[in-house]
Amino acid sequence: MDQYPLKTGGTRGAALLVLVSIASVQSGAALATTLFDEVGALGAVLLRAGFGALALVLLTRGAPLRTREWPHRDVVLLGVSVAAVNLLFYAALARLPLGITVTLEFVGPLGVAIFGSRRWWDLIWALLAAAGIILLSDGGGEIDPLGVALALGAGIFWATYILQSARVGRLGPGADGATMAAVISTVLVAPFGLAQGGGELLDPSVLLAGAAVGVLSAAVPYALEIEALRRLPQAVFGVLMSLEPAVAAAIGFVALSQGLSLVEVIAIGLVVLASAGALRSAGFSLRD
């Protein structure tokens, strides 16, 4: 029997789900930037984390919060990783265009794929990615150095997130571990978000936008990717996810009027190509 039964229509439909998921995540990030003037980047992080966690709690009907086994060390470390990724990513997003921020952050999963491989030719993907990052950091025009450092830091914690997700996934099925990690992440980012956002966080229009960010960035992608992974090989899923920097650049251009220079477009293309090659070769999912 075919391992992936809906080989034509089903597989194409699953690929479309992944692309919609990517667009949802990046649309949420683009929407979050509209909150920066009112609550700051850290306030936006708190809104995204809080509403994202709430969405997952509702999705799991609160079951993880009633289970004693989930306050596990690996779950706590996953929550720390999620908090660090979001804090650093949004801080970078306040200084860099969306497409460049996501491209630099993508070194995390790319690094996990390359360092987890024993194939010598995967060094080619590493060199391509390095060339793209150097172009973005040095030859892409007026790029904020602190923004670059923050985005790369987010990438490092994204790599940690991937490794911890695999460990948490082995603790039990379903979204329980992810939900607990999201709750822990919200608690960790709350002091930073409250300090910067202050009373503006209670503004109804800000709360509405924050809820949309949380749903777009967490609930929708999670539901779509879980369904897609039922029909797609992980290697194919990984290759599709490697399009994320390109999608982010497109959404940044359309929604935020963030233009890119030719050098920046080439750099993003190199990282996308390197990511597709490395993830296809490694055969793993970015969000297990």
Report the sign of the C-alpha dihedral through residues 49, 51, 55, 57, in that order: positive
Q: Which has more confidence, 94 or 164?
A: 94
* Measured distance CA(1)–CA(105) in Å, rounded: 39
Which tokens in the block code for residue 55?
């969405």
The half-sphere exposure of 235 on its side-chain side, counting CA atoms within 13 A, is 6
Q: What is the pLDDT of residues 214-269, one digit of tens each?
A: 999 988 887 787 778 777 776 677 778 888 999 999 999 999 999 888 888 998 99
* Measured distance CA(225)–CA(60) in Å, rounded: 16
- Report the SS3 class of residue 230: coil
Mean confidence (pLDDT) of the chain: 83
* Measured distance CA(21)–CA(61) in Å, rounded: 22
Q: Which of 37-46, 198-207, 246-255, 258-267 has the lowest mean pLDDT?
A: 258-267
4 band by pLDDT with thresholds 50, 70 and 90: very low
Closest among 278, 239, 276 to 115, alpha carbons compared: 278
Closest among 58, 28, 32 to 182, alpha carbons compared: 58
Are residues 8 and 158 in contact, defined by beta-carbon separation less than 8 angstroms?
Answer: no
Q: What is the pLDDT of residues 144-175, one digit of tens each?
A: 889 999 999 999 999 898 888 777 767 666 66
- Report the SS3 class of residue 1: coil
* Measured distance CA(200)–CA(99) in Å, rounded: 28
Q: Give the distance, in angstroms, between the CA of residue 89 and the centroid of all CA atoms in the same chain.
A: 9
End-to-end CA distance of the chain: 25
Q: What percent of the chain is modeled with pLDDT above 70?
A: 83
pLDDT of residue 172: 64
Q: What is the pLDDT of residues 82-91, one digit of tens each?
A: 999 999 999 9
* Measured distance CA(14)–CA(6) in Å, rounded: 9
- Cα–Cα distances (Å) from 32 to 7, 45, 213, in that order, read 37, 8, 6
